[in-house]
Chains A and B, each alone.
Chain A
Amino acid sequence: MVLSFKSWFANEGGKHFILWLGANAWLFLRTFLTYSTGQQYYYLYKMLGLGLCISRASASVLNLNCSLVLLPMCRSLLTCLRGTHTLSSRGTRRLLDKSKTFHVACGIAICIFSVVHVSAHLVNVVNFSAFYSEDLPALNLARYLGEVIPGITGVLLVVILFLMFTASSYCIRLSNYEIFWYTHNLFIVFYIILMVHMVGGALKYQTNVDTHPPGCLRPNQSSPELQGEELEPGNEERRCKEEARFHPHYPQTWMWVSGPLCLYCAERFYRYIRSSDPVTIVTVIRHPSEVIEVRMLKRDFKAHPGQVVTVRCPTEEKETFGVHMRVVGDWTERFTELLLPKTGVELEILPMVQQRRYPNDGWKQFRLRRLYFVWVCRELQSFYWFSELLCALHHKLWQENRPDYLNLKLFVSQTEDLQSMSEEKYRPLSSRLSIGRPRWKLLFDEISNANRQKHVGVFCCGPKGISRTLHKLCNSGRYTGVTFEFNKESFS
């Protein structure tokens, strides 16, 4: 498929990966060159060679990524930023929506560079002993402090990273989320150990480069190329004025990591405080296909797009927010049992009041001109989850003389056992229902023909197959004049 540069740039080029990759590459190269060409590391480099440069360069990249990895997880802060007017450009909002992807990218970088770092240090340990320096005894690896503390903390760090990484695969998150959650919370132990990792001063730099230029001749040494000849006056400068002195590096990781760590701890504390406020359940509705809708009320809370709600289970005219949840695992089953006890049990069920509020005339303030809502379900019953909302919206828009604002397209993918939505009140839905999977190319053709020279935002929430197809279509060059911006959401 031919790529359109304009579409590709809108979808991929704006990604922060390029900036992040550039920052990592620059940091790696800069540190590498500092250690390979820096005067203060001359003797150390002679002893350890490439292993020194690679281990230090990967360490600085690790510092950067360990500090960046926490920032996308400050969800309350990101929600706040997303809503402010200063950062209300679409590009920035899309960037903030990709925070989870960025977190994963930093995590993978941490794992890769840990492998590089450990391998390089293994080579360093061998070289420290193989090239033990009699001339510069201060440079050698101090037996206790320099070897044991970084060694043991390093092993512990890798073990924690191993536990976190193996529990974060898609399969584990899908089936046993608790393993992922509890191992990931070991991050605090990881960061504490990381900050003491460099204590011990294994790596030293030379402090007196001006008085002892690296490579200078010692008083009892003679220059190899002037053997047997008298030293000329000019060569006096090549004599060392004093012995080389070395000083261990101070641990620097705390400078990188403490800011984001404090920010994230504040975020967790804020979430904990907010979660202590009780939530009132206003309505519970049981929909077909094992779905329940729960509408809730919380003090000082208004639902905004892009927010993440963590639900933990124990009228007046207020705005409720709600979640639809599919009852699949043990948590959702227990939650349903608590809210909707099975019939036959003698319990008093209090009457619940249903309240629905939609924006009354607030369409004009949004830049959205038209909405195509494409919904693909396996069974017909699933459409009942949001049937009331969709029909109400449809009627409201017809009455406001904006029939083209909302274009509904419903698809039932399972073609056996045909049924129809026979209720008269769901007529707008049943007349827009098609059997079989949607043909995305035709849909995109239709949308691009009807919306020339416009920006079309595509929001996909669904399985990877559909997401990939849509992403490719958005990037293809078929639609001249129309830019399709691809966005996706995943909840695992």
Chain B
Amino acid sequence: MGKIEWAMWANEQALAAGLILLTGGIVGVGGMFRGWEFAAYSIAAGVFVCLLEYPRGKKNKGTSVERTGQYCFTVCVKAFGPLTRNYYVRAFIHAAIAVPAGFMLATVLGCVCLGIASLIYLGAAISGEKWEPILPRTETRKAVGESIKQPPQNPPPRPPAEMRRKRAEDLEGAAYDNPIKVSTNDE
């Protein structure tokens, strides 16, 4: 087994757990079960976890696959700096969020699933993984078109002066017939 990136799996789990918390909370509030306040809490907790976990982190090796439309979430999550980059902090946050959801039957599944995700994040943190944002690559285009825009400053090089000079010793050879008859302005 090569180097496994546990954080990627923990991310999928946490996102799914967030959705489970949300669903359990909606059922609990909708049915007005006993302890529905915990259900209301777990709706909020589920939404928070989903927002935090939606942007996927960058893979260490290979190409990272983004989730659809995750760029704005990436920017928000990146703004929190080390709080979101460090997986120890994430593991602790998820464990803390999961605890109140365990007090009600409708949300206990969300609690268990988020607890598992928190444990996997702890494992990822121990392996030394970090969350890196996937940012669009700034394309460095080769400046091919630059030289075309500026016209040449100098005329093209001319042959040496001795070739340009009329050969006085060979007037016959230097002479040529004008194709158009040359006339003065009086005529």
Contact surface of A with B, Cβ cutoff 8 Å: 115, 118-119, 122-123, 125-126, 155, 158-159, 162-163, 165-167, 169-172, 174-176, 178-179, 328-331
The answer to whether B5 and A175 touch across the interface, beta carbons within 8 angstroms, is: yes
CA distance A158 to B112 in the complex (A): 10
Inter-chain contact A175/B59, CB cutoff 8 Å: yes
Within 8 A of A (CB), among B1-23: 1-5, 8-9, 12-13, 16-17, 20, 23
**A163 CA to B109 CA, complexed, in Å:** 13
Inter-subunit contact B105/A176 (CB<8 Å): no
The one of B2, B5, B20 that contacts A331, using a Cβ cutoff of 8 Å: B2
Q: Which residue of A lies closest to B65 (CB)?
A: A171
- The answer to whether B16 touches A159 (Cβ under 8 A) is no
Q: How far is the CB of B157 from chain A (nearest CB, A)?
A: 31
**Is B91 in the interface zone, CB < 8 Å from A?**
no
Return the chain B residue nearest A127 by Cβ.
B31
B62 on the A face (CB < 8 A): yes
Decide: A330 near B62, CB < 8 A? Known: A115-B23, A166-B13. no
Q: A119-B27, A162-B13 are in contact. Are A176 and B5 (CB under 8 A)?
A: yes
B116 located at the interface, meaning its Cβ lies under 8 Å from any Cβ of chain A in the complex: yes
What residues of A have a CB within 8 angstroms of the CB of B31 in the complex?
Answer: 122-123, 126
Residues of B within 8 A of A329 (CB): 2
Q: Which residues of A contact B106 (CB under 8 A)?
A: 122
**Contact with A179, one of B9, B17, B27 (Cβ below 8 angstroms):** B9
Chain A residues in 8 Å Cβ range of B16: 162, 165-166
B residues near A (Cβ < 8 Å) are: 1-5, 8-9, 12-13, 16-17, 20, 23-24, 27-28, 31, 33-34, 56, 59, 62, 65, 105-106, 108-109, 112-113, 116
Residue of B nearest to A159 (CB): B112
- Give chain B residues whose Cβ lies under 8 Å from the Cβ of A331: 2
Check if B8 sits within 8 Å of A172, measured CB to CB.
yes
- Residues in chain B near residue A125, CB distance under 8 A: 105
Taking the closest CB of chain A, its distance from the CB of B134, in whole angstroms, is 12
Given known contacts A119-B27, A331-B2, is B108 in contact with A176 (CB within 8 Å)?
Answer: no
Question: Can you give 10 contacting A-B residue pairs, CB < 8 Å?
Answer: A122-B28, A123-B27, A155-B109, A159-B109, A162-B113, A166-B9, A167-B12, A171-B12, A179-B4, A331-B2
Q: Is the CB of B112 within 8 A of A155?
A: yes
CB neighbours of B23 from chain A (8 A): 115, 119
Contact (A166, B65) CB under 8 Å given A330-B2, A330-B3: no
Are A176 and B109 neighbours in the complex by a CB distance under 8 Å? no
Q: Is the CB of A155 within 8 A of B12?
A: no
The reply to whether A162 and B20 contact each other, CB–CB distance below 8 Å, is yes
Quick check: A176 and B8 within 8 Å, CB to CB? yes
- For B2, the chain A residues whose CB sits under 8 A away are 329-331
CA distance A163 to B9 in the complex (A): 9
| A119 to B112 alpha-carbon distance, docked (Å) | 16
- A328, closest chain B residue (CB): B62
Q: How far is the CA of A178 from the CA of B182 in the complex (A)?
A: 93
> Shortest beta-carbon distance, B65 to chain A, in Å?
5
Instruction: Check if B27 sits within 8 Å of A122, measured CB to CB.
Output: yes
Could you say which residues of chain B place their CB within 8 Å of the CB of A123?
27, 31
CA distance A122 to B27 in the complex (A): 8
Residue of A nearest to B109 (CB): A158
Tell whether, in the assembled complex, residue B9 and residue A167 are in contact, meaning their CB atoms are under 8 Å apart: yes
Report how far A178 CA is from B112 CA in the complex, Å: 23
A159 to B108, CA, bound (A): 11
CB nearest neighbor in B for A118: B109
How far is B13's CA from A126's CA once the two chains are assembled, in angstroms? 29
| Residues on the B chain within 8 Å of A175, using CB | 5, 8, 59, 62
In the complex, which residues of chain B have a beta carbon less than 8 angstroms from the beta carbon of A330? Answer: 2-3
Q: Which residues of A contact B9 (CB under 8 A)?
A: 166-167, 172, 176, 179
Q: Are B59's CB and A159's CB within 8 A?
A: no
Most chain A Cβ neighbours within 10 Å, of B17, B56, B105: B105
Report how far A159 CA is from B105 CA in the complex, Å.
15
A118 to B23, CA, bound (A): 11
Contact in complex: A171, B56 (CB < 8 Å): yes
Known: A176-B4, A179-B4. 10 other contacts (CB 8 A): A122-B105, A123-B31, A126-B33, A162-B17, A162-B116, A165-B16, A167-B9, A171-B12, A171-B56, A175-B8
Give Cα A177 to B44, complex, Å.
33
Residues of B within 8 A of A167 (CB): 9, 12
Tell me, rounded to whole Å, the shortest Cβ–Cβ distance linking A330 to chain B.
Answer: 3
| Contact call B13/A170, Cβ cutoff below 8 A | no
Contacts of B1 in A (CB 8 A): 178
Q: In the complex, what distance in Å separates the CA atom of A155 from the CA atom of B107?
A: 11
CB distance from B44 to the nearest CB of A (A): 19
Q: How far is the CA of A328 from the CA of B2 in the complex (A)?
A: 12
